[in-house]
Amino acid sequence: MPRRIRTWVTTLAIGTATAALGAAPPHADPVVPRHAIVVCQSASFYANYDSAGGPTGLKRTLAYGNKIGHTPGAHPVYNGWAASFDFGPNDWGYLRAECIGGYDSW
């Protein structure tokens, strides 16, 4: 490849990488959830907990043994509903606090 074309390709690659970094979505995850599992036979997993009306936006139903994350003392628990991370789909939501167990078992 001629040097001039190489220079252009390199420069455009740097530009594209810069653009990709600048467009990063607004969520870094500073508090890493502690590893746990679902200890209920089934547990509803909701997108949010609405302080005005309880859990809202059912995402899916988790089963016994599903890998989840929650850090007691850091992630909030509202009226028995715990902010949790579902490993696999890798998203946040709320499930019943009593369905979280097996901390650090994986």
∠ CA 56-58-59, rounded to 5°: 130
User: Does residue 101 sit in helix, strand or coil?
Assistant: strand
Give the separation between CA 105 and CA 37, rounded to whole angstroms: 8
Is 30 or 104 the residue whose CB approaches another protein more closely?
A: 30
Does 1 help bind another protein (rule: CB under 8 A)?
A: no
Q: Is 86 exposed, middle or buried (0-12, 13-18, 19+ CB in 10 A)?
A: buried
Which span (34-42, 59-67, 70-78, 98-106) binds another protein, by CB under 8 A?
A: 70-78
Tell which one of 1, 22, 41, 90 touches another protein (CB under 8 A). 22
Is 18 or 64 the residue whose CB approaches another protein more closely?
A: 18
CA 98 to chain centre: 20
Interface with another protein (CB under 8 A): 3-4, 7-8, 10-12, 14-16, 18-20, 22-23, 25-31, 47-53, 56-57, 71, 74-76, 83, 85, 92
